[in-house]
Amino acid sequence: MHPVTTAGALIGRESERALLTGRIRDVARGRGSSVLIEGEPGIGKSVLVRAAVAEAPEAGCQVFWGAGDELGQALPLLPFLDGLRVREPSTNPRRNTIVGLLRGEVSADRGADVPAVLAEQLLALVAEQCAVRPTILVIDDLQWADQASIALWGRLARSAQQVPLLLIGMMRPVPQRDDVLALRRMASDAARLQLTGLTGAGVTDLVAALAGGAPDGDLLRLADGAAGNPLYVTELMAALARSSSLTITEAGAAGVAGGSAPGSLSAAIADRLGFVAGPVRDVLRAAALLGVDFAVPDLASVLGRSVTDLIPAVDEACAAGVLAASGSSLGFRHPVIRPHCTARSRPRCGPPGTGTPPVPSRKPARPPTGWPGSCWAPSAAGTTRPTPWTSGSLTGWPGPPSCWSARPPGRRQSSSSTPWPVPRPARPGTTAW
């Protein structure tokens, strides 16, 4: 496999890099700003920012880089302390004051909140750095940062336009914390950059750059399992090269000897499951037994829970990039990840001893934001009278939704994908069971 160059790693990110390059030019001229970059693991946030700030010294800017740490959340302001390099020996009085506070050699006022005092000192340090040279401050993995660091990032973002400071933050969509969500809401649309998967053309270009030849149809179909994630595409190509499965024809076309995904790719994609909570993984295990695509009411029936109870778990799974809308249903975004979610035991389909699926306790007034309305539709189990979901009286939801079945129309359920009969929600106006 050919090594990944900077240009290869940034395939399909031309507009995003141009935006960051423009912000660097602005801060070099004294106009500060902030950018919040979001995206799933492996989507290329850090690679993009590192490539952009590599040009900063030539523009006369200094760069500081810190990162949140999942195991360091108990240490207030750690991303900023590391990023601004305050622990390094220095003759700067401000840095020495911060170090003294950390070591207890400098005492704060009695009753003072030490993290708050440290935050004020760090704000002053950033202002001093900006007075010396235009400054770029990058904080990676904000989703792991402590609350004091999130608050400090927000304060710097509000004041960035007043000083030559380019503040860059990077974060994953999960875990979903209230303070991080508030930070996202605070950022204007112009200050947010959402990195999504590469387009089909981008994946083709990346595969060609890594393989050293134009990919054939089989190789591209295998690369589709990465769903446009550059890290997973790169891991796929590396795994094929290690197993000697990558072939190059005399005509320069790149192909693959086998049609299955290497184990290392599956492991890389399944690694994202570690970022979702245990209850969400339980829901994903049950969803995996329903097939690649499934309807939410069927998932609720299998788990013995109401559709409403599944809202938080499905929302988090969608935010993590594990699930996504698939036509009129939900489905696993990466087909390779489904085997890793398979349940180890058969969940009950109803109350103990009954063998019947439960009736949802109540129906929500509206589907949750971001879900396709049809896959959200609860069954009309246990009722024969018209409801807003069956009569079309709910504004914006004309008539019954299109996915009352467990799978999209025209799709046949594989007998191997579900080890027991899956109950189907009733059609509107009928009894479910």
pLDDT digits (tens, 9 = 90+) for 344-391: 434 444 444 444 444 444 344 344 444 444 444 444 443 333 333 333
pTM of the entire predicted model: 0.64
Phi, psi for residue 45 in degrees, rounded to 5: -65, -55
Look up residue 29 and give its two tokens. 């001229």
Distance, CA of 211 to CA of 299 (rounded, Å): 40
Look up residue 105 and give its two tokens. 């050699």
pLDDT, tens digit, 9 for 90 and up, residues 77-128? 999 999 999 987 788 899 999 999 888 887 777 767 889 999 999 999 999 9
Residue 131: which of 92, 105, 96, 189 has the closest Cα? 92
Q: What are the CA-CA distances from residue 309 to residues 69, 175, 284, 341 (Å)?
A: 31, 19, 14, 20
Residue 206: which of 426, 418, 423, 1 has the closest Cα? 1
Contact 115, 76 (CB under 8 A): yes
Distance, CA of 428 to CA of 389 (rounded, Å): 8
How many of the other CB atoms lie within 10 Å of CB of 426?
A: 18
Query: Would you say residue 431 has pLDDT above 60?
Result: no
Q: Which residues, other chains included, contact 218 with Cβ-Cβ below 8 Å and sequence gap of 6+?
A: 255, 256, 259
Residue 172: which of 269, 316, 42, 38 has the closest Cα? 38
pLDDT, tens digit, 9 for 90 and up, residues 266-275? 655 665 666 6
Contact 222, 190 (CB under 8 A): no
Distance, CA of 30 to CA of 24 (rounded, Å): 10
Distance, CA of 234 to CA of 155 (rounded, Å): 37
Residue 32: which of 198, 199, 163, 201 has the closest Cα? 163
Confidence band (pLDDT; 50, 70, 90) for 410? very low
Burial category of 129 from C-beta neighbours within 10 Å (exposed 0-12, middle 13-18, buried 19 and up): buried
Query: Would you say residue 144 has pLDDT above 70?
Result: yes
- Write b or e for each residue in 139-170: b if 16 or more Cβ atoms lie within 10 A of its Cβ, otherwise e: bbbbbbbbebbbbbbbebbeebeebbbbbbbb
